[in-house]
């Protein structure tokens, strides 16, 4: 398996393994080979098992794959499970400072014992340093076994421990200890069937986590106010905004901050502050996850009905309730799309890469002001907290912010009477003002109660109906503002199609290739926003059957398609995964294959499963 394998590191949370595991992933990436790192960690602070999984694939398949080719296990607590997960013929590296129990051996797995802790105890005096540096020992052994270029690892160590020369030296020593041990004790070394070889397959792509990209996108999008309450997995997004704002939002003359970050007492207070700041002319946002959406729903209804620009980034996790805080899902679509009581609909943007996280977060501020409504950027834990391969971030320095229909003092002066909710242009989007723009005209206060076109309170049914119908017209207009879907074929090639969004993208596209190799062709479309435009409807209408791939139990994207554009539910076949782990191409392929058996107009090729390939149970 040249440049095509999955390696998993099984560690104990809080033992410093994250740095070493990241060094491994970055080293392979800098050798020009695509990688997909996944950090699988518990929701407690320290002590429970944690895993770090890296898929290496020079063909550029970036979705998670079933089957572990190399397991590096330093956690006795999870060892039995870890050994069971290794594919037949795979490798199991472990700390042999203590003997391995007989019941943990398998005849079909190659064992790579290394006395890591003992080696570090013999070499290093500091107890904490011993614990940390044993992680670099296994990185060194892997470098020898897989032929990873050592100078590349050295460079990453220097970058990671910049300004801490003693740590650089110690990590070099531990790395070399692992290299020397592997060469002296394992034959063959390097491994004959799993290797890394330099390629030029990543181009100008970068490794970045989605939360950092969203935080940077907010800065570039003009955000000056962040109000938030800490919640996994969105907390690092707020941290990233603060880090970037500290560099880019400082007045060059006074040295004072041109931004404000408020950690509120809860999610309700946070969204209230965001709405207030936007009402007063700032570009403000919050970041949260599913439980925060639940708590913010009433305020989101206020922003929808009072038509106040609001930006929210939802980094989705496993629910409901507390659910699985450190596992990924795409299970907030319905709760976010219709957040609040009454008839409400909210715009959602659905990025699939850090580059799109950056772009869509920046765009969300323009959209929120153009449409005067909440805009939600829907990421998830997998995209938000993991390093993901991505095209480079791009920004046009000539770009100007689009604040929509905002009247200045001169325009207000010319009006006989300002109608805050008067549909002048027929698109459902009214004109607004920033409070204080004019001494006597314009908006100074707003409310969440029913009103007429001139913002005067009324409970008259016809006035309420006119307002709600105008909001529906605005929703239709929004379809021309939000990004359209991405289509993966120039013309229709099949009577079957697949729809997906966000982090299902990479596995869906790989599954499509796997089915193509067996003679089954599917057309593909990636949904990038809600509301859906006509292109989505036309795609579904032009296929007999469309597989809707998503990571939740209740087929929420399918539900939105049925509700919003009147699709026949029987035409949409859900392909679902909701175990908290990113969906795999194997799962998608097998579920689609099973559904299509007997329904294809042309015969398909026989399925050939290579020895050791994992099977997904339905």
pLDDT score at 265: 97
Question: Are 495 and 591 members of one domain?
Answer: yes
Please give the pLDDT value at position 605: 46
From the list 395, 350, 405, the residue with the least C-alpha distance to 375 is 350
Same domain, yes or no: 479 and 490: no
298 and 385: one domain? yes
- Within a domain: 395: no
Last residue of a domain, one of 440, 462, 483: 483
Between the CA atoms of 510, 516, 522 and 528, what dihedral angle is there, to the nearest 10 degrees?
Answer: 20
The count of domains in the chain is 4
| pLDDT of the residue at 602 | 52
Say whether both 352 and 439 belong to one domain.
no
Q: What is the pLDDT of residue 189?
A: 96
Is residue 616 included in any domain, yes or no? no
* Ordered mean pLDDT values, 10 residues apiece, the chain (618 residues): 96 87 98 97 79 97 95 94 96 95 94 96 91 95 98 96 90 97 97 96 97 98 98 97 96 94 97 98 98 97 98 97 95 98 97 98 98 98 98 97 97 96 97 96 93 96 98 98 96 95 98 96 98 96 97 98 95 97 97 84 43 36
Give the whole-angstrom CA distance, residue 329 versus residue 332. Answer: 8
Of 147, 233, 138, 140, the C-alpha closest to 190 is 147
Distance of CA 121 to the CA centre of its chain: 40
Which CATH number does the domain housing residue 25 bear? 3.40.920.10
> For position 494, which CATH number holds?
3.40.50.920
| Contact (Cβ atoms closer than 8 angstroms) between residue 293 and residue 252 | no
- Residue 601 domain flag: no
**604, part of any domain:** no
CATH no. for residue 306?
A: 3.40.50.970
Q: What single DSSP character describes residue 99?
A: P
Task: Say if residue 418 is in the same domain as residue 459.
Answer: yes
User: 334-339: long-range contacts (C-beta < 8 A, 24 or more apart)?
Assistant: 334/554, 334/556, 334/559, 334/560, 335/290, 335/293, 335/294, 335/297, 336/293, 336/376, 336/378, 337/530, 337/560, 339/293, 339/296, 339/297, 339/300, 339/301, 339/374
The CA distances from residue 536 to 32, 541, 547, in Å, are 36, 9, 13
pLDDT at residue 609, as a whole number: 34
The CA distance from 336 to 325, in Å, is: 18
Which of 172, 203, 234 is the C-terminal boundary of a domain? 203
Kindly state whether residue 20 falls inside one of the protein's structural domains.
Answer: yes
The count of C-alpha atoms lying within 13 angstroms of the C-alpha of 160, restricted to the half-sphere facing its C-beta, is: 20
Domain match, 123 and 34 both: yes
Q: Which of 187, 203, 219 is the last residue of a domain?
A: 203
Q: Is residue 70 part of a domain?
A: yes
Q: Are residues 555 and 437 in the same domain?
A: no
Query: Do 545 and 523 fall within a single domain?
Result: yes
* In a shared domain, residues 361 and 463: no
In angstroms, rounded to a whole number, what is the distance separating the alpha carbons of residues 574 and 471? 31
3-state secondary structure of 8: strand
* Residue 365 preceded by cis peptide, ω within 30: no
Q: Report in angstroms the alpha-carbon separations of 469 from 299, 301, 530, 560.
A: 21, 16, 19, 20
Nearest to 320 by CA among 293, 285, 343: 293
Range of the domain at 128: 4-203
Considering just the CA atoms, what is the radius of gyration of the chain in Å? 27
Between CA 123 and CA 17 the distance in angstroms is 19
In this prediction, residue 524 carries a pLDDT of 98
Q: Nearest CA to 553 among 576, 584, 569, 581?
A: 576
Q: Are residues 152 and 274 in the same domain?
A: no
User: Residue 318: CB partners within 8 Å, gap ≥ 6?
Assistant: 324, 325, 327, 328, 329, 331, 578, 580
Phi, psi of 258 (to 5 degrees): -105, 35
Burial grade of 445 (CB within 10 A; 0-12, 13-18, 19 or more): exposed
This prediction's pTM: 0.94
Q: Are residues 321 and 448 in the same domain?
A: no
The structure tokens listed for 335 are 């709760």
Residue with token string 């870890």: 82
Domain membership of residue 490 (yes or no) is yes
Helices 354-371 and 210-220 sit at what angle, rounded to 10 degrees? 40
For residue 607, tell me if it sits in a domain. no
How many alpha carbons lie under 13 Å from residue 388 in its C-beta half-sphere?
A: 33
Residue 358 and residue 413 in one domain: no
């Amino acid at each position: 398996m040249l440049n095509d394998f999955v390696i998993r590191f099984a560690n104990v949370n809080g033992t410093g393994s994250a740095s070493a595991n990241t060094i491994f992933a970055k080293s392979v990436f800098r050798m020009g080979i695509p990688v997909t790192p996944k950090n699988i960690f518990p929701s407690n602070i320290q002590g429970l098992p944690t895993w770090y999984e890296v898929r290496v694939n020079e063909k550029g398949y970036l979705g998670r794959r079933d089957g572990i080719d190399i397991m590096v296990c330093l956690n006795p607590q999870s060892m039995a499970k870890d050994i069971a997960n290794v594919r037949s013929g795979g490798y199991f590296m472990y700390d042999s400072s203590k003997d391995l129990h007989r019941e943990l051996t398998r005849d079909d797995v190659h064992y790579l014992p290394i006395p890591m802790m003992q080696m570090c105890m013999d070499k290093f005096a500091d107890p904490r340093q011993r614990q940390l540096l044993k992680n670099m020992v296994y990185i060194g052994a892997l470098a020898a076994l897989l032929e990873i270029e050592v100078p590349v690892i050295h460079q990453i160590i220097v970058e990671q421990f910049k300004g801490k020369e003693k740590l650089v030296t110690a990590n070099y020593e531990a790395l070399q200890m692992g290299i020397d041990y592997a060469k002296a004790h394992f034959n063959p070394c390097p491994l004959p069937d799993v290797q890394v070889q330099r390629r030029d397959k990543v181009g100008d792509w970068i490794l970045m986590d989605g939360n950092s990209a969203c935080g940077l996108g907010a800065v570039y999008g003009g955000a000056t106010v962040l109000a938030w309450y800490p919640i996994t997995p969105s907390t690092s997004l707020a941290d990233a905004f603060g880090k970037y704002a500290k560099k880019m939002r400082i007045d060059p003359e006074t040295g004072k901050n041109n931004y404000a970050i408020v950690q509120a007492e809860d999610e309700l207070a946070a969204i209230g502050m965001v709405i207030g700041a936007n009402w007063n002319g700032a570009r403000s946002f919050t970041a949260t996850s599913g439980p925060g959406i639940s708590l913010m729903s009433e305020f989101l209804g206020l922003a929808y009905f009072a038509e106040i620009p609001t930006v929210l980034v939802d980094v989705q996790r496993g629910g409901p309730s507390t659910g699985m805080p450190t596992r990924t899902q795409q299970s907030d679509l319905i709760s976010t799309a219709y957040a609040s009581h009454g008839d409400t609909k909210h715009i959602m943007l659905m990025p699939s890469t850090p580059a799109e996280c950056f772009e869509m977060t920046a765009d969300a501020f323009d959209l929120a002001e153009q449409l005067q409504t909440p805009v939600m950027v829907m990421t998830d834990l997998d995209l938000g907290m993991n390093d993901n391969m991505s095209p480079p971030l791009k920004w046009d320095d000539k770009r100007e912010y689009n604040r929509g229909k905002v009247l200045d003092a001169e325009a207000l002066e010319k009006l006989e009477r300002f109608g805050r909710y008067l549909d002048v242009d027929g698109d459902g989007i009214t004109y607004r003002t920033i409070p204080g723009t004019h001494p006597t005209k314009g908006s100074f206060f707003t409310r969440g109660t029913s009103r007429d076109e001139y913002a005067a309170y009324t409970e008259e049914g016809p006035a309420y109906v006119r307002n709600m119908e105008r909001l529906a017209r605005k929703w239709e207009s929004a379809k021309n503002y939000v990004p359209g879907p991405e289509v993966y074929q120039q013309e229709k090639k099949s009577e079957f199609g697949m729809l997906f969004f966000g982090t299902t993208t990479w596995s869906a596209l790989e599954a499509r290739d796997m089915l193509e190799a067996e003679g089954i062709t599917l057309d593909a479309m990636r949904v990038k926003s809600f509301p859906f435009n006509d292109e989505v409807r036309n795609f579904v209408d032009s296929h007999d059957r469309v597989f809707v791939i998503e990571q939740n139990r209740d087929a929420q994207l399918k539900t939105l398609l049925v509700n919003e554009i009147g699709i026949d539910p029987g035409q949409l076949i859900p392909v679902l995964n909701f175990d908290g782990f990113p969906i795999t191409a194997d799962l998608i392929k097998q579920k689609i294959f099973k559904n299509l058996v007997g329904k294809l107009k042309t015969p398909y090729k026989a399925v050939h499963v290579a020895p050791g390939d994992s099977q997904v149970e339905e």
